[in-house]
Structure 1
Amino acid sequence: MTIILKISRNSPERALIKQAALIIKEGGLVAFPTETVYGLGADALNAKAVEKIFAAKGRPADNPLIVHIADRKDVYKFVKEVPKEAELLMKKFWPGPLTMVLKKKDIIPDIVTCGLGTVAVRMPSHRVALALIKEAGTPIAAPSANLSGRPSPTDASHVIEDLLGRVDVIIDSGKAYIGVESTVIDLTVEPPLILRPGGLPLEEIEKFLKNVGKEEKSDKPKSPGMKYTHYSPNAEVIVVEGYRGGVMKKVQEIVDEERQKGRKVGVMAVVKGHKFDADIVKFIGSTEKEVAKRLFRALRDFDKEDIQVIIAEGVEEKGLGLAVMNRLRKAAGYNIVEVK
């Protein structure tokens, strides 16, 4: 049986936080809000508890987890060294949507890192997440709180859809602020490498680190979101990107083709006023921030409306747009139509 706790995002009720933290201490699973998406947490130092995360999600055993902490100083307990670049990023961006990959100490169980010598660490900024970690008195290992491969949960209702009956507690604190997962940067290599674009735009990092590389796929991932199909609704997804005027025309062409096949078609639009003759059209925002916040919800909503094909307009890869396009392309299984 899953307990659902409604906890205020601005003033977390201590008694409810203690109730959820006790579950963590006892080796259970708690789904909790962060500023990016909801996470599914267990005591990061308890290997048996962490095993339950993989079982509840149906998560591949070689997909590492992020360790969440509530105090910058705690990072030194769990990693062997903190390079000067990491010190700088911690000072500038923690708490916040940045995860750093560093060389781990043996105190972190191998199941958390899938046997790698590195660990991904983050200090979230959401008050409920911080209160839970502090009260539990242990770092919390957590991927997104969804069934593996599904769109990430940006609201407690999404967690309930996927994980009710599979976890001990779901904390409901409303919608996530950002809507896409944290940015992950590997600081064990030179130059530092972005393993996953996310809630902290690359441009912000480049103000402090001048030479940053990008890697989006790996057979031995150091971070979530690199190897497997992710963020996928039940519907087929086709991403149309390129010249804006041409994108609108191409989207309608694909809609017409798919409807002629007898399929129910949805369009995910990012330009207000674009009109499409489709079964359902969802305008999810005209700025990268708006699109990021609404992306995963829209993918899930299309499924509820029995849409069979989703045609998504691409966005410019700047700011949060880089993370949006990363998620869209993965949701589509790289089924992309480019308009020159």
Structure 2
Amino acid sequence: MQTLRISPSKIQQGEIEKIVKKLREGAVICLPTDTVYGLAVDAWNEKAAIKIYNLKKRTKEKPLILFIKDQRHLISLVKKIPLSAIKMINKWWPGPLTLIFKSAISDPWYLVNQKGGIGIRIPSHPVVNKILQENGLSLATTSANLSGEQSIKDIEELSPIIKEKIDLIVDSGKIPPGKESTVIDVTISPPRILREGEIKREEITKITKKPAGILFVCTGNSCRSVMAEGFFKKYWSKKQNKVEIKSAGTSVGFPSSPSSYTVQVMKERGIDVSPYQSKRVNQNLIDDSDIILVMEEVHLYYLKRTFPEAENKIWMLKEFTSNRKEGIPDPIGTSKAYYEKVADEIEGEIKKLIGKLSDN
């Protein structure tokens, strides 16, 4: 068994490559997280995961926690990302928060519980974050202690039984004092705290009780984003959760009404957008939004460049609903028939979006 000492403030790329190589070979490693030391394997290597269960004497009914590098990985892994979860993700990821989602995958058994839930987290420790950035690697993890024993914050506390059976120890010194990650089940409404850890109940309640903000963005805020806002308000009105829905454009010179065809096709669908006045996306709109959904890749790049602090909140609409990096074309200057086609496409995506964001 090898020990690799890595300072969190002086991480060498060669050290990370050595760890990743070991993981890809099926190794079980002990590494630091932002809360405790943990055991980790390549998330998709079943043989390696079984090693963790055997050495910890852990029952198969207790899944491991999945560490991912960023929020975008959620789309292919979970069925729903409720607005309550999005608010917590924006506040505490990366950090000491584990969320249990409805899994979109049935395997592997060691990540998905018997009720179809999957626990996911993005930790904030620089060493594990560097590992996660390598070639899309994800980690199946658990605390580095025998089942029933206390978690450890110093490698010196590691059980000799575990030390003898793992392949690599990554020693980054003592983990600062604090509790384990807070675990919240977001498969039910309201979300249920399964373990109150570093993040306190009062903080969670404060965040989740505030109305969520959704912002739709296109170019001129006269066609696509107006349609998206209108459809969302129509279909979300039956939900219990209060949501503030707005739209804006990246290239709006002065307030103006939606295009005439936008007004017509929306009216035919029972939605009156004629009073709407376009507005340019600005810092206040960004700050007030928990999720920002854009129509094309050009909008994605513009917003990420202009508001880099909000990068993790910004998605292409189809990327979020269907895990497809496809845009919705701009109908400006085309026929009414084309507007109708775009409206139908947006309506379909909004229905998917509501299914993804709803609590039940």
- 1:178: Cα distance to partner? 4.2
**Equivalent position of 1:112 in the other structure:** 111
Aligned pairs for 1:166-315 within 5 A: 166-210=165-209
1:138 corresponding residue in structure 2: 137
Residue of structure 2 in register with 1:58 after alignment: 57
Distance 1:137 1:96 in 2: 19
Q: Helix, strand or coil: the match of 1:82? A: coil
1:146 touches 1:158 (CA, 8 Å); kept in 2?
A: no
The offset of 1:94, in angstroms, is 0.4
Q: Does the 8 A contact of 2:132 with 2:138 survive in 1?
A: yes
In structure 1, C-alpha distance between the alignment counterparts of 2:18 and 2:188, rounded to whole Å:
40
Distance 1:78 1:108, change over 3 A: farther
Counterpart residue identity of residue 50, structure 1: A
- Residues 26-66 of structure 1: per-residue CA shift (max 9 Å, x gap): 22111110110011001112222211110121112211211
Distance 1:118 1:203 in 2: 25
Alignment-derived partner of residue 79 in structure 2: 80
Q: Once the two structures are superposed, what CA deviation does each residue of 1:58-107 show, in whole Å capped at 9, x if it has no partner?
A: 11221121111121222223112211111111111100000000011227
Q: Could you say what secondary structure the match of 1:164 adopts? A: helix
Deviation at residue 210 of structure 1 after TM alignment:
3.1
Amino acid at match of 2:138: P
Quote the offset at 1:111 in angstroms: 2.1
* Cα offset, 1:160, TM superposition: 5.6
Aligned match of 2:69: 70
Q: Deviations over 1:212-233 (max 9, x none)?
A: xxxxxxxxxxxxxxxxxxxxxx
Q: Say if 2:160 is the partner of 1:164.
A: no
Matched, 1:15 2:14: yes
CA distance in 1, matches of 2:115, 2:132: 24
For 1:108 and 1:159, how far apart are their aligned partners in 2? 30
Q: 2:66, 2:139 within 8 Å by CA — same for their partners in 1?
A: yes
Residues in 1 aligned to 2:43 and 2:104: alpha-carbon distance in whole angstroms: 13
Change (3 A) 1:179 1:169: farther
Whether the aligned pair in 2 keeps the contact of 1:44 and 1:108 (CA below 8 Å) is no
Q: Deviations over 1:236-257 (max 9, x none)?
A: xxxxxxxxxxxxxxxxxxxxxx
Query: Which residue number corresponds to residue 295 of structure 1?
Result: none
Higher deviation after alignment, 10-19 or 33-42: 10-19
Does structure 2 retain, via aligned residues, the 8 Å contact 1:35–1:178? no
Q: Is the 8 A contact 1:33 1:128 kept in 2?
A: yes
Cα 1:107–1:127 change in 2 (3 A) is: farther
Off by >3 Å, runs of 4+ in structure 1: none
Distance change (3 Å), C-alpha of 1:47 and 1:122:
same
Give the deviation of 1:113 after TM superposition: 2.6
CA shift at 1:176, angstroms?
1.3
Gaps of 5+ in 2: 211-360
Percent identity, please: 39
> Aligned partner of 2:144: which letter?
A
Would the aligned equivalents of 1:144 and 1:152 in 2 still touch at CA under 8 Å?
A: yes
* More helix as a share of residues: 2
How big is the shift at 1:17?
1.3
Considering only CA atoms, is the larger Rg found in Structure 1 or Structure 2?
A: 2
Q: 1:151 to 1:29 in 2, by over 3 A?
A: same
Give the CA deviation at 1:159: 2.4
Q: Secondary structure at the match of 1:113?
A: coil
Q: Which amino acid aligns with 2:116?
A: G
Task: Kindly indicate whether residue 123 of structure 2 is the aligned counterpart of residue 124 of structure 1.
Answer: yes
The 1-side partners of 2:38 and 2:107 are apart by 19
The 3-state SS of whatever aligns with 1:39 is strand
Give runs of aligned pairs for residues 23-38 of structure 1, distance below 5 A: 23-38=22-37
Partner SS for 1:100: strand
Number of residue pairs matched by the alignment? 210
Q: What's the TM-score, normalizing by structure 2?
A: 0.56
Pick closer, same or farther for the CA change 1:160–1:10 going to 2, 3 Å.
Answer: farther
